[in-house]
Structure 1
Amino acid sequence: MRLRYADGRLAHLSYCTNVHPAEDLDGIIAQCDAYAVAVREQLGSEVLGLGLWLAAPVAAELAADPTRRKRLRRELDVRGLEVVTLNGFPYQAFQAPVVKHAVYQPDWTTGDRLNYTVNLATILVDLLPDDAVRGSISTLPLAWREPWNAIRARRSRRMLDLLAAELARLHARTGRTVRVGFEPEPGCVVETTSQAVDLLSGIDTRWLGLCLDLAHLACAWENPETALAALRIAGLPVVKVQISAALAVARRSGGSARRPRRERPRRERRRSAP
């Protein structure tokens, strides 16, 4: 859906598809028919935005074949669906019975993660509506927190530099802007806003920034307003916000929900839909 700020700027609200299993082009189209079109009709909207998830194998196929990208764009158009953002966090098999640490592999120390994300950017420039100012891709916050050392940190920074260079080349070739947002999550190298400031300062913010997931902020006991202020001061842009996942805490009789004194956020969990 398209929303407008008071100053006239356009905001895109999208339905994320990574909760639905589909890892080839035909499956993605069938998924749109089964879920996305129904959501659009239920909302009574002419156009519904999708936060589309493409597994690595189908992303590689689409990136290599302009004809298949045109087909996907056509299939989306006729269904009243548009895409300005892709979910690039899960690499593949996100609907497997047990996900856990597999969702963090391959991480940002590897060329596989770089290639997957560049493939997504290549696809996104062909899916973006003509009037979209830019597109975004969310991705994992570097890696799971263990193992992590100086060597892996240097390797990941090299990958981020290569990613920024590829996004700049894509812009030069197509005229379209795609930015990648690293999504802080409990248990990862970048769990919190303060860690994002420490570990991601110096990235090329023309192309790279943060994806804020409100559920992840809640798990880390962070206040969204405070987090945004810290990122603003650090000069780290927020390129995407995920707001559809939320925590619910039942109130106790005669009391209020509050943070336990000694309990820390769980470090290992299944990923929830953004």
Structure 2
Amino acid sequence: MHLSYCTNVHAAEDLDGIIEQLDTYALPIRRRLDTDVLGLGLWLAAPAAAGLAESEEDRRRLRRELDARGLEVVTLNGFPYEAFQAPVVKLGVYYPDWTSRERLDYTLRLARILTDLMPDGATYGSVSSLPIAWRTPWDGSRATAAYGHLDELARGLARIEAETGRTVKVGFEPEPGCLIENTTQAAALLSGVDTNRLGVCLDLAHLACAWEEPVAALDRLKQAGVPVVKVQVSAALEADDPVAAADVLHAYVEPRFLHQTRSAGGEATDDLDAALAQKLPGPWRIHYHVPLHAEPAAPLASTVPVLREALRALRANSDCEHYDVETYTWGVLPEEQRPKDAAGLADGIAAELAFARDELSAAVTR
């Protein structure tokens, strides 16, 4: 099992900036955790990925820099294409989608790069990606284009394995508002792909926002023959009584990311401000990744109980090896919860990783 933290929380998008962030964040985090090796779920923006895919020397350089700091990479986050920490992202994160050759080319570049970054003992590498597309617009021609690209993706991954001897799998990440929002849709829409190489990246905050029961969700995927190739260990924001929590919830409204909001009764909006304006009936779960180890401001809660149940089910019934802590929202948290500097962010990520490590260990023994 490999535990890592996802570097899409950092803004660097070129090779020099990525190497600099290793010293600013990753190395201090490893030292805080007092561990010989720290896992990174590396995010490479499309321009950096293109450069690395073209340059064997740059790939060797990045591997040397990782090794020198005791850092390990078995998984890449290939969901955001670029500019993920821009002032405004919102719907832009879903483009280019899988109807576009740009998305296919980017993902295959990531897979090729990963074969040179993976440690020798890794069973496989993984790349997470968006769940095909945002739900609209969608029609037959877009579906034909998307599934044609998925077929090309599987063939491309097979070629990479033949050339390098390394296996890389791609996991599509169900997310509220997308074509694949939940495991029911994942089972239906991915059961016909090459499931030796393609599967699901199960984000535990998204699982909670879909109000899915973890055991049933995993069984649904298993029955459909769709493997979990990667897990994003994350927690969403929860409001049992949104009316009573309205003032606190307003502090989480921000311009960078979408915060899709879902009620237990099935009512939905694509952002938190719309849910507040429409006064959706509660309780709510909100697509807002909150720090795993720290409770949000009262009277809000997090979906850590769902996370715990999911980890127990995964450790008992799945052979997934990749667990990536993905809290990318540190910079947009309410001001009093936001890290004040790089050292504060490193402290927060280290605390999350320690929490996740303990929960994964407990999941084996429960």
Same-fold call, TM cutoff 0.5: yes
Asked whether the equivalents of residues 188 and 224 of structure 2 are also in contact (C-alpha less than 8 Å), the reply is: no
**Matched residue, 2:267:** 264
**How big is the shift at 1:81?**
0.2
TM-score normalized by structure 2? 0.68
Secondary structure at the counterpart of residue 18 of structure 1: helix
Secondary structure at the counterpart of residue 184 of structure 1: coil
**Matched residue, 1:55:** 45
CA 264–174 in structure 1, closer or farther in 2 if over 3 Å, else same:
same
Match of 2:66 among 73, 76, 90: 76
Match of 1:176 among 119, 142, 166: 166
Q: Which shifted more, 189-198 or 82-91?
A: 189-198
C-alpha distance after superposition, 1:158-180 (max 9, x if no partner): 00000000000000011000000
Distance 1:128 1:165 in 2: 21
Are positions 1:246 and 2:235 aligned together? yes
**Matched residue, 1:110:** 100
**How big is the shift at 1:266?**
3.5
Paired residues for 1:1-274 under 5 Å: 11-243=1-233, 245-249=234-238, 260=263, 262=265, 264-268=267-271, 272=289, 273-274=326-327
Distance 1:145 1:267 in 2: 11
Asked whether the equivalents of residues 186 and 265 of structure 1 are also in contact (C-alpha less than 8 Å), the reply is: no
Secondary structure at the counterpart of residue 72 of structure 2: strand
Secondary structure at the counterpart of residue 92 of structure 2: helix
**How big is the shift at 1:98?**
0.9
Secondary structure at the counterpart of residue 190 of structure 1: coil
**How big is the shift at 1:264?**
2.4
Misfit runs of 4+, over 2 Å: 247-252, 259-274
The amino acid that maps onto 1:135 is G
Gaps of 5+ in 2: 242-261, 273-286, 290-325, 328-366
Distance 1:115 1:34 in 2: 30
C-alpha distance after superposition, 1:129-160 (max 9, x if no partner): 01111000000000000000111111100000
Distance 2:131 2:236 in 1: 21
Q: Which shifted more, 33-42 or 78-87?
A: 33-42
C-alpha distance after superposition, 1:170-191 (max 9, x if no partner): 0001100000000000000000
CA 218–266 in structure 1, closer or farther in 2 if over 3 Å, else same:
farther
The amino acid that maps onto 2:195 is T
CA 114–268 in structure 1, closer or farther in 2 if over 3 Å, else same:
farther
**How big is the shift at 1:248?**
4.3
**How big is the shift at 1:251?**
6.7
C-alpha distance after superposition, 1:219-254 (max 9, x if no partner): 1101121111100010000000001x21244677xx
The amino acid that maps onto 1:267 is D
Task: Note the aligned Cα RMSD (angstroms).
Answer: 1.7
Distance 2:104 2:271 in 1: 24
The amino acid that maps onto 2:171 is G
Asked whether the equivalents of residues 53 and 113 of structure 2 are also in contact (C-alpha less than 8 Å), the reply is: yes
Distance 2:239 2:195 in 1: 40
The amino acid that maps onto 1:203 is V
C-alpha distance after superposition, 1:4-62 (max 9, x if no partner): xxxxxxx0001110010110001001111111111111111000000000000000000
Secondary structure at the counterpart of residue 9 of structure 2: coil
CA 131–17 in structure 1, closer or farther in 2 if over 3 Å, else same:
same
The amino acid that maps onto 2:76 is L
**How big is the shift at 1:265?**
4.0
- How many residues of Structure 1 are paired with residues of Structure 2 in the alignment? 257
CA 271–204 in structure 1, closer or farther in 2 if over 3 Å, else same:
farther
